[in-house]
Amino acid sequence: MSDRLLDLASHGLLQARLGMMLLYLLGMTQLTILTVTLYLHRSQTHRSVDFQPALAHAFRFWSWLTTAMITREWVAVHRKHHAYADTDQDPHSPYMVGIHQLLWRGTELYTAARHDSQLLATYGRGTPDDWIERHVYTPHCNWGPTLLAVISLALFGVGGMAIWAVQMLWIPFWAAGVVNGVGHWWGYRNFETPDKSANVMPLAIWVGGEELHNNHHAFPSSAKFSVRRFEFDLGWLVIQALSAIGLARVRSVVATDESPLSTTTARIVALAPRVKVMTEFFHKVTLPVVREELRSPSCRNQRLVSRQRCALADGGRWLSADERAYLNAWIEARPCLHTICQLRTQLAALMEMRNAERAREAYSQWIRIAQASGIDALQRFAQSLSEGMIAPSTLVVARAHEHPSL
């Protein structure tokens, strides 16, 4: 009898070998990742997809069981992140708290933010508020991981506690640390958003699609995060599969020239005017002029590193003091580039204007100045703006489109 008990304590009911335990761990953690990205993020926070009620509650239960995260608190913190991304009011920005702090202790920032009652009241609206949420999931959020620990111990014995420990660290590291930290620190950018969001990698599989972070900040209300032909969003693939069997309904989705989408059931999400204009300005005006400058003989000993070149998209806002000083001196020595950077700053400020009449006047004046600059790339860009002429009334609501509706 004692031998049987010792065997159960050592190996659990399943008597599983290491390979089976690792497969179990991978399956469980990926289910948790999908719960976070599909339910908490895309459905509850941004309202881009609805799930069949039983499936939605299954997601909510799984979140309670494996993370102890409360839906309203997670949603509120993330909505505020979008509203103030990479500013001093952002609950989790690597530029405010440091990349190492966010990568290894990101869950502490979430815990601190969730205790802000004003944040919950402002950004936590529209989340579940039924009996089980009020009496179980919210007041007893720690019961879930405790129950999971008991299940793990029963199934795998002592080894189950190691599995449980990894599960408890999985979301804090990969979601709070890698996505919120690395996703605003390193990677490539398709769009010049006001923040420093970046796509960590084009094959967004390991973290359920969240690796395409810059795309998401450009189209926050889209259920689909991939926008380029070489990008893949695992979360979107799962949503499509669930939609095919009637368990999900897509409410809004991105459609770009490169990846058109034919659908009559979902609202098509377009780039906000500010993001669209500033992205085109960087690629059609700034980069061509910089490349031309770098080809000149005078630049043989005055190169720009990739980080500094990319910083021209936002005026060097995120560079260190020394890097910014070098970049400013490099710009000042080149009158053509200096003019472009000045007009970029003016255009960015124009996009923040909230008075439609003043925005219309300032917009027309900016186009006249750009057309008279004598800089070919800038003149062509101004001409394209003049011909396409974004309605000034859309400029004053650009920021509203960039942030999720609450």
Domain match, 190 and 293 both: no
Domain interval for residue 392: 273-402
The rounded Cα 216 to chain-centroid distance in angstroms is: 5
Domain match, 284 and 182 both: no
158-171 and 18-34 are packed helices; what angle lies between their axes, rounded to 10 degrees? 30
Domain match, 233 and 308 both: no
Domain match, 27 and 150 both: yes
CA distance linking residue 218 with residue 106, whole number of Å = 23
| Of the residues 238, 268, 298, the one at which a domain ends | 268
* Tally of domains in the chain: 2
Domain match, 286 and 145 both: no
Q: Supply the mean pLDDT for the chain.
A: 86
Domain match, 198 and 322 both: no
Domain match, 61 and 186 both: yes
Residues 210-242 have pLDDT tens digits of 999 999 999 999 999 999 999 999 999 999 999
Domain match, 36 and 184 both: yes
Domain match, 208 and 323 both: no
Q: What's the pLDDT band for 402 if we cut at 50, 70, 90?
A: very low
| Of the residues 268, 284, 307, the one at which a domain ends | 268
Domain match, 255 and 380 both: no
Extract the tokens encoding 160. Answer: 């189950």
Q: At 265, give phi and psi (nearest 5°).
A: -105, -15
Residues 6+ apart with CB under 8 A from 196: 86, 95, 184, 185, 318
The pLDDT of residue 260 is above 80 = no
Domain match, 230 and 350 both: no
Domain match, 239 and 296 both: no
Q: What is the pLDDT of residue 327?
A: 86
| Of the residues 248, 268, 288, the one at which a domain ends | 268
Q: What is the pLDDT of residue 248?
A: 97
The pLDDT of residue 258 is above 70 = no
Residues 303-350 have pLDDT tens digits of 666 777 778 887 777 777 888 888 888 889 889 999 999 999 999 888
Q: What's the pLDDT band for 288 if we cut at 50, 70, 90?
A: very high
Q: What is the pLDDT of residue 5?
A: 59
